[in-house]
Chain A
């Protein structure tokens, strides 16, 4: 579903991402992790066509993002950490606008179903300013899922959500994966990735440190089989700034 090959992004003499290659299949949820400045955001932006890569190719559902960006973008959805909504469009008008941009067939039925699933059916006529943070996030999700994307990118999806919103978001991601979407999830919350992800991709200083299923990565980097993703992360990135938790005994 997502094939990235030799992706490199340079800003002048600084290389943010260097020769990154990976592939994600349908139904997989891949956690994109790394310390600050590792190149996660740049990778996400390159994969969604927001910024052009310096070198390398990105294929979304088999379509090259550089040669046919319109068709490739029809297959993807990107959810930034902050929902970007139009202050004077109601919930329903947001969906109409997005449907027009993506050319969604059977729009009305699809929109009604989505709103019902997201428990927003009674909020069709509200403006974003009248919605809670969680509801805004749900509206952004409804807009993103309207055209039934096959590849989905989440950037820090739990920012600002309450416990109910967090649970709902996690359920949504699992459901989408079950329905056959390929998901990339960028987050610093390693516990979230451990709960939701089937695979993990660890970056450090723009380079890939590890890539594979959670079990594979754990086997490769952890000394104990039941090590947490947090232990795996610090071992993989070689970050010794955090002292190990000492046994009080």
Chain B
């Protein structure tokens, strides 16, 4: 490099450092300014408290405390290093063979627009990219160290873990860039991805065969004693992994991993030299690679921006999926109530899985399999497992399913200037928007209940239920599902209408401590409101339950009467919620939350 070139690199490099520093400073300042609003302050405090209790309360960053015993160097730790090295080596080999990505550095669209046409050397751009990734890596290393420090068997302390994570993540990042540069270079000299794959696979096969041959000669096959227990197996495989030539193959990855797994300071310092040497080697590999990354980087920036926009719009898979025409769930006549039209539209968007006919086939198939399993005494264990899985899955769908509502409402908010011009009362729009999640979740819950009914009826002798009681129980719970799901989706809808700016943070990924705190507040509020809705119904339903029990003495009959009463009350509550939300929707003024354009 000439002196003029070095001077140019320094000045343009300083400009890029300035850019990154200002971006970070302004982002932090914006977040700090936001704390003037009580809702952000409260959420941030809650997020900080969560972090404190999760990571700091019972352990310090210095380690387990002065009095705590130092973790001994044990066989488990050694196997941990070896296994991590095997996984890492496998991952690297896989990426060399199967990755099709070109030499693309990850820039934002603004960076592409400003930097790619500026008189900035390519090497400066690479350094800028590395600097940017270091900010992310340092943050990740600190966070991972907080987590790994809690794993007492690892030994070392928090700072050693942090440096270990930093070396590992930085090397992987540099290797990924260097590998993509090399693949690009191979492409430039005429080695297309198919030929490259064939070449690497051939090489891998050759090395694998040589290793196998060598191991067969040097390491005896496992005897019964080697497979007698977990410790014996660990010892045997540790012997395989540490014997040459496998150890030679794993050596680079082991050197990178050793600082993280170092049990004490002396071992850490000894491990640092080789790890830093590999890191420096990767850095030189990246910097000295002379390949054109601009075109692929531009394409990557565009794709990332598209994905970001898609996420904003609530499409988590991005826009890369080509859209195909979907079948209508049912023919929609141009006259009639509005709510079915919303359901029709939402079911088309939900995809072919939720087409009524397909769902009927799926349900029939699942129930047929269940009935067949029930008829085979040899498969009783399978029924027990299915029952044990279906119950928590049912609860999870019941809790998480209505959260789908947030996405629907966010999409509705984006088109509110059109939706609000529809000649409909507020309750019609609210009911229409809520109908699809209610129908979808109810369909899933009913199928799970049918599975549980078959399992419970078959296993009735073993778990103490009769066929009649398990059947009636399932029907009673089935009656409760639609109004409960309706109320839960109503809570999500209400949260969006009453706290729109909070919900936009809750519904999106990331966002920092305040967004995490907001999610926690929302989850807490969700539980409280749901309890408030269910409690009166349960109290009122106690009356028919007690009457039937007093008159007939049948527990099953009393429970069924109670379930019917709860269901009716919950339907009433749901209707009231729709009416109330309809009024709120009609008065809703999004521009009061978002300043007018």
Given that A41-B597, A88-B323, A101-B338 are contacting pairs, would A50 and B328 also be in contact in the complex, using a CB cutoff of 8 Å? Answer: no
Q: How many A-B contacts at CB < 8 Å in the complex? A: 100
Given that A48-B420, A73-B423 are contacting pairs, would A104 and B325 also be in contact in the complex, using a CB cutoff of 8 Å? Answer: no
Within 8 A of B (CB), among A85-143: 86-90, 93, 96-97, 99-105, 107-108, 125-127, 129-130
Binds A, one of B65-73, B88-96, B583-591: B583-591
Contacts of A69 in B (CB 8 A): 423, 586
Number of interface residues of B (CB under 8 A): 38
Please give 14 more A-B residue pairs, beta carbons under 8 A apart, in addition to A97-B341, A99-B335: A11-B595, A41-B596, A45-B591, A49-B420, A50-B417, A50-B421, A71-B423, A84-B415, A84-B417, A86-B345, A90-B325, A97-B345, A100-B336, A107-B334
Complex Cα spacing A88 to B344, Å: 11
Contacts of A16 in B (CB 8 A): 596
Chain B contact residues: helix, strand, loop or mixed: loop
| Inter-subunit contact A84/B335 (CB<8 Å) | no
| Inter-subunit contact A73/B334 (CB<8 Å) | no
| Inter-subunit contact A101/B423 (CB<8 Å) | yes
Complex Cα spacing A87 to B414, Å: 13
Complex Cα spacing A100 to B326, Å: 19
Contacts of A99 in B (CB 8 A): 334-335
| Inter-subunit contact A11/B586 (CB<8 Å) | no
Complex Cα spacing A158 to B96, Å: 49
Distance between A105 CB and nearest chain B CB, rounded to angstroms: 8
A42 at the B interface (CB under 8 A) = yes
Report, as a range, how many residues of chain A touch the other chain: 35 or more
A227 at the B interface (CB under 8 A) = no
Query: Which 6 A-B pairs give the minimum distances between C-beta atoms?
Result: A99-B334, A107-B334, A73-B423, A100-B341, A84-B415, A74-B423
User: Taking CB as reference atom, which chain B residue is nearest A79?
Assistant: B418
Given that A16-B596, A86-B349 are contacting pairs, would A102 and B332 also be in contact in the complex, using a CB cutoff of 8 Å? Answer: no
Complex Cα spacing A77 to B587, Å: 20
Chain B positions within 8 Å of A, measured between CB atoms, are 322-326, 328, 332-336, 338, 340-341, 344-345, 348-349, 414-418, 420-425, 586-587, 589-592, 595-597
| Inter-subunit contact B423/A102 (CB<8 Å) | yes
| Inter-subunit contact A50/B332 (CB<8 Å) | no
Task: Mark interface residues in A65-88 (1 if CB within 8 Å of B CB, else 0).
Answer: 000011101101110100010111
| Inter-subunit contact B423/A70 (CB<8 Å) | yes
| Inter-subunit contact B425/A11 (CB<8 Å) | no
Contacts of A127 in B (CB 8 A): 323-325
Contacts of A48 in B (CB 8 A): 417, 420-421
Given that A11-B596, A97-B341, A103-B335 are contacting pairs, would A78 and B418 also be in contact in the complex, using a CB cutoff of 8 Å? Answer: yes
A215 at the B interface (CB under 8 A) = no
A51 at the B interface (CB under 8 A) = yes
**What are 13 A-B contacts defined by CB distance under 8 Å?**
A11-B596, A16-B596, A51-B420, A69-B423, A73-B421, A76-B421, A80-B418, A84-B418, A100-B336, A101-B423, A102-B422, A104-B334, A127-B324
Contacts of B595 in A (CB 8 A): 11
